[in-house]
Amino acid sequence: MVQFRFLGILMAVAIRTKKPLDLHLAPWVWKQLCCMPLSGADLEEVDLLTYRTLQGILHLENSGITADNFHVMIPLDSFMAHSADGRLVPVVPRGQNISLTFSNRTEYVERALDYRLHEMDSQVDAVREGMSTIIPVPLLSLLTAQQLEQLVCGLPEVSVEMLKKLVRYRDITESHQLIRWFWQSLKEFTNEERVLFLRFVSGRSRLPSNLADISQKFQIIKVDRVRRRFLVFLLSLSLQLDGFHQSSQSLEFMMRQNEEMFKGSEYVCKALPVQTSDLH
């Protein structure tokens, strides 16, 4: 459980520092962390096949199955079910010795559903224990699952409108043709490509749900010089990280003199993982 406890510490650090994690957990995990009750709908969201199987056993009358043909039509013969990792496990103590019949099928479905919904309880408890070393976990019960997920993970989508709110311009204005092309190029990116851009300029993979939690903005600086027959604009994107050091990255874009083409947008994503000053 050490790993789950450490995960809880990381999640709490993300909340305290307002640096979201790119973390993907089942929706019911967030509900459990907030001490919210679980239901069959939570299982349906992550394991539709198991949920429908249990519902089919519960409502056999819709399929014309009776006590006489129950064992012929239902392949289960005891209180066993598949766990999240695919193992066949008893849903009650010594469940392998309890026969599943037409008359006790309702109890079986209830037990199997309860097992699946709570089979990760010990892991969730370890995560909460890790979080408790940094934040008061009783306060989590005041949040919804979605609110907690946003505190830990931020926003899953990186939109251009959000990025525009994080920019300062130097020696260039937002109305400049190059800037308009720049933002248009980002709009044409997929979300995954915009995540790469965000990581390039800030070291983040996610934006916090409240953009006010980002204290520093990155700059777009224009430096123009003539190279061969092209007018070259250098956009220097920099961000002050944690108040300790300056992180600076640069992207160079080329525009034909007749302004008919913005060259570089198709190369930006490929250049994002590394620092570069020349994309032509």
pLDDT mean values, one per 10 residues, the chain (280 residues): 94 90 90 93 92 89 79 84 90 91 91 94 94 91 92 88 83 81 84 84 80 75 54 42 42 45 45 39
Q: What is the pLDDT of residue 126?
A: 96
Per the structure, the count of domains in the chain is: 2
Q: What is the pLDDT of residue 261?
A: 44
| Same domain membership, residue 14 and residue 140 | yes
Enter the tokens of residue 194.
């915009």
Q: What is the pLDDT of residue 272?
A: 45
In which domain, by residue range, is 54 found? 2-153
Q: Which of 111, 133, 153 is the last residue of a domain?
A: 153
Q: Which of 153, 184, 208 is the last residue of a domain?
A: 153
Q: What is the pLDDT of residue 255?
A: 47
| Same domain membership, residue 128 and residue 28 | yes
Is the residue at 279 inside a domain? no
Q: What is the pLDDT of residue 225?
A: 56
| Same domain membership, residue 138 and residue 74 | yes
Q: What is the pLDDT of residue 223?
A: 63
**C-alpha span between 162 and 214 (Å, rounded):** 11
Residue found under tokens 């993907």: 24
Q: What is the pLDDT of residue 200?
A: 77
Q: What is the pLDDT of residue 59?
A: 87
pTM: 0.70
Render pLDDT for 139-185 as a digit per residue (tens, 0 to 9): 888 999 999 999 999 888 888 888 888 888 877 788 888 788 888 88
Looking at the chain, how many residues does it have? 280
Cα dihedral sign for 118, 121, 127, 132? positive
Q: Which of 153, 168, 186 is the last residue of a domain?
A: 153
Cα–Cα distances (Å) from 235 to 89, 218, 254, in that order, read 59, 11, 11
Q: What is the pLDDT of residue 108?
A: 93
